[in-house]
Amino acid sequence: MLLQPVETLSVRPLTGLNRDLDYRVPATLQTQLEVGSLVRIPVRNRQEMGIVTRLEASGDFPVSRLKYLASVEQPFPVLTPELITMAEWMARYYAADLAAVFELMIPAPVRKGMQPRRRSFFRAAPDSEGDSVEELRRRAPRQAELLAFLRSQPGRRAVPKATVLKRMGIAAASCRALVEKGLIVEETVDHPREAYSDELAGAEHVTAMDLTLNAEQQEAADAIVKRVEAGGYDAYLLHGVTGSGKTEVYLAALQQALAVGGGAIFLVPEVALTPQTIGRMRARLEQQSGVRAVVWHSHLSEGERYDAWHALATGEARVVVGARSAIFAPIRNLRLIVVDEEHEPAYKQEETPRYHGRDVAVYRATLCRCTCVLGSATPSMESLYNVERDKYRLLRLRCRVDDRALPLMHVVDMKREVLSQKGHVVFSRLLLDKIGERLERREQSILFLNRRGYNTSMLCPDCGHVAVCDHCSITLTFHRADNILRCHLCGFDQVAPQRCPKCRSPKIRWRGSGTQRIEDVAQRIFPKARIVRIDADAMQKKNLFRSILADFRKGLIDILVGTQMIAKGLDFPNVTLVGLVDADLSLHLPDFRALERTFQLLVQVAGRAGRGDRAGEVVVQTFMPHAAPIQHARKQDFEGFIDGEMEQRREYRYPPFRHLIHHIFRGKNPEKVQFFAEQWARLLEKEIPKSVEIRGPAPAPIEKIKDHYRFQLWYFTPSITPFIDQLADLRRSFPKEKDLHDVIDVDPVNLI
Ligand code: ADP
Ligand code: ZN
Ligand code: ZN
Tell me if 515 CB under 6 Å of ligand 1. no
Q: Residue 238 Cα, ligand 3 centroid: separation in angstroms?
A: 40
Task: Give the pLDDT confidence score for residue 747 in this predicted structure.
Answer: 97
CATH number of the domain within which 169 lies: 1.10.10.10
Tell me if 569 CB under 6 Å of ligand 1. no
pLDDT at 315 exceeding the cut of 80: yes
Q: Which domain does 305 fall in, by range?
A: 200-403
pLDDT at 167 exceeding the cut of 80: no
Task: Give the pLDDT confidence score for residue 196 in this predicted structure.
Answer: 44
pLDDT at 542 exceeding the cut of 70: no
How far is Cα of residue 105 from the mean position of the Cα atoms in its chain? 14
Q: Which of 679, 192, 621 is nearest to 427 (CA)?
A: 621
Tell me if 244 CB under 6 Å of ligand 1. yes
Of 190, 213, 242, the last residue of a domain is 190
Determine the residue of 568, 571, 574, 600 to mutate for testing ligand 1's pocket, defined as the one with the most ligand atoms within 8 A of the Cβ atom.
571
Ligand closest in space to the Cα of 460: 2
Tell me if 242 CB under 6 Å of ligand 1. yes
In a domain, 461, yes or no: no
pLDDT at 556 exceeding the cut of 80: yes
- Which has the minimum average pLDDT: 307-321, 439-453, 477-491, 706-720? 477-491
Based on the fold, state whether residues 337 and 259 are members of the same structural domain.
yes
Determine the residue of 206, 211, 254 to mutate for testing ligand 1's pocket, defined as the one with the most ligand atoms within 8 A of the Cβ atom.
211
Which residue CA neighbors atom 5 of ligand 1 most closely?
Answer: 245
Long-range contacts for 563-566 (Cβ within 8 Å, ≥24 apart)? 563/448, 563/449, 563/450, 563/451, 563/452, 563/515, 563/534, 563/535, 563/536, 564/448, 564/450, 564/601, 564/605, 565/270, 565/273, 565/534, 565/535, 565/536, 565/539, 566/273, 566/446, 566/448, 566/534
Of 190, 223, 253, the last residue of a domain is 190
Of 111, 144, 174, the last residue of a domain is 111
In a domain, 696, yes or no: yes
Q: N- to C-terminal Cα distance for the chain?
A: 52
Structural domains of the chain, count? 5
Tell me if 211 CB under 6 Å of ligand 1. yes
Which residue CA neighbors atom 14 of ligand 1 most closely?
Answer: 205
Q: Residue 159 Cα, ligand 1 centroid: separation in angstroms?
A: 46
Determine the residue of 401, 570, 571 to mutate for testing ligand 1's pocket, defined as the one with the most ligand atoms within 8 A of the Cβ atom.
401
Ligand 1 atom closest to Cα of residue 607? 4
pLDDT band at 692 (very low <50, low <70, confident <90, very high): very high
pLDDT band at 391 (very low <50, low <70, confident <90, very high): very high
Tell me if 589 CB under 6 Å of ligand 1. no
Based on the fold, state whether residues 669 and 717 are members of the same structural domain.
yes
Based on the fold, state whether residues 127 and 141 are members of the same structural domain.
yes
Ligand closest in space to the Cα of 214: 1
- H/E run at residue 147: helix 141-151
pLDDT at 445 exceeding the cut of 90: yes
Task: Give the pLDDT confidence score for residue 483 in this predicted structure.
Answer: 87
Bridge partners, residue 265, by sequence: 320, 337
Determine the residue of 248, 339, 397, 400 to mutate for testing ligand 1's pocket, defined as the one with the most ligand atoms within 8 A of the Cβ atom.
248
Task: Give the pLDDT confidence score for residue 569 in this predicted structure.
Answer: 60
Ligand 1 atom closest to Cα of residue 212? 23
| Separation of alpha carbons 462 and 465, rounded Å | 8
Dihedrals phi, psi of 74, to nearest 5 degrees: -140, 115
Based on the fold, state whether residues 150 and 248 are members of the same structural domain.
no
Based on the fold, state whether residues 229 and 347 are members of the same structural domain.
yes
Based on the fold, state whether residues 529 and 551 are members of the same structural domain.
yes
Q: Residue 557 Cα, ligand 3 centroid: separation in angstroms?
A: 35
Based on the fold, state whether residues 345 and 209 are members of the same structural domain.
yes
Tell me if 287 CB under 6 Å of ligand 1. no
Residue range 71-97: mean pLDDT, rounded: 94
- Altogether, the residues listed in the chain come to a count of 752
pLDDT at 198 exceeding the cut of 70: no
| Separation of alpha carbons 37 and 51, rounded Å | 6
| Separation of alpha carbons 330 and 77, rounded Å | 7
Which residue CA neighbors atom 17 of ligand 1 most closely?
Answer: 245
Task: Give the pLDDT confidence score for residue 297 in this predicted structure.
Answer: 83
CATH number of the domain within which 415 lies: 3.40.50.300
Bridge partners, residue 618, by sequence: 409, 578
CATH number of the domain within which 672 lies: 3.30.70.600
In a domain, 469, yes or no: no
Ligand 1 atom closest to Cα of residue 240? 3
In contact, 536 and 491? CB cutoff 8 Å = no
Tell me if 240 CB under 6 Å of ligand 1. yes
Cβ neighbours around 529 below 10 Å, total: 16
Ligand 3 is an ion; its neighbours by CB within 5 Å are 469, 471-472, 487, 489-490, 492
DSSP 269-299: S-GGG-HHHHHHHHHHHHHHH--EEEEE-TT
In a domain, 724, yes or no: yes
Tell me if 214 CB under 6 Å of ligand 1. yes
Strand order in the sheet with 617-622: 408-413, 617-622, 575-580, 444-448, 559-562, 531-534
In a domain, 483, yes or no: no
Ligand closest in space to the Cα of 338: 1
Q: Residue 303 Cα, ligand 1 centroid: separation in angstroms?
A: 35
Based on the fold, state whether residues 354 and 231 are members of the same structural domain.
yes
CATH number of the domain within which 57 lies: 3.40.1440.60
Based on the fold, state whether residues 211 and 125 are members of the same structural domain.
no
In a domain, 498, yes or no: no
Based on the fold, state whether residues 536 and 602 are members of the same structural domain.
yes
Q: For residue range 43-66, what is the model confidence (pLDDT) as tens digits?
A: 988 999 999 999 989 888 888 889
Q: Residue 430 Cα, ligand 1 centroid: separation in angstroms?
A: 31
Tell me if 514 CB under 6 Å of ligand 1. no
Task: Give the pLDDT confidence score for residue 380 in this predicted structure.
Answer: 97
| Separation of alpha carbons 3 and 32, rounded Å | 6
pLDDT at 226 exceeding the cut of 70: yes
Tell me if 243 CB under 6 Å of ligand 1. yes
Q: Residue 537 Cα, ligand 2 centroid: separation in angstroms?
A: 29
**Amino acid identity at 678:** E
Q: For residue range 109-150, what is the model confidence (pLDDT) as tens digits?
A: 999 888 887 778 888 887 666 667 777 888 888 888 888 888
Based on the fold, state whether residues 287 and 212 are members of the same structural domain.
yes
Based on the fold, state whether residues 359 and 271 are members of the same structural domain.
yes
In a domain, 504, yes or no: no
In a domain, 463, yes or no: no
Q: Residue 501 Cα, ligand 2 centroid: separation in angstroms?
A: 7
Residue range 595-608: mean pLDDT, rounded: 89
Ligand closest in space to the Cα of 466: 2
In contact, 547 and 572? CB cutoff 8 Å = no
Task: Give the pLDDT confidence score for residue 202 in this predicted structure.
Answer: 41
Q: For residue range 2-51, what is the model confidence (pLDDT) as tens digits?
A: 567 889 999 999 998 888 999 999 988 888 899 999 999 999 889 999 99
Strand order in the sheet with 740-746: 693-705, 708-717, 659-667, 740-746
Tell me if 247 CB under 6 Å of ligand 1. yes
| Model pTM score | 0.87
Tell me if 108 CB under 6 Å of ligand 1. no
Residue range 199-228: mean pLDDT, rounded: 76
Cβ neighbours around 387 below 10 Å, total: 18
Bridge partners, residue 711, by sequence: 665, 699
Ligand 1 atom closest to Cα of residue 207? 16
Which residue CA neighbors atom 20 of ligand 1 most closely?
Answer: 245
Ligand closest in space to the Cα of 573: 1
Ligand 1 atom closest to Cα of residue 246? 3
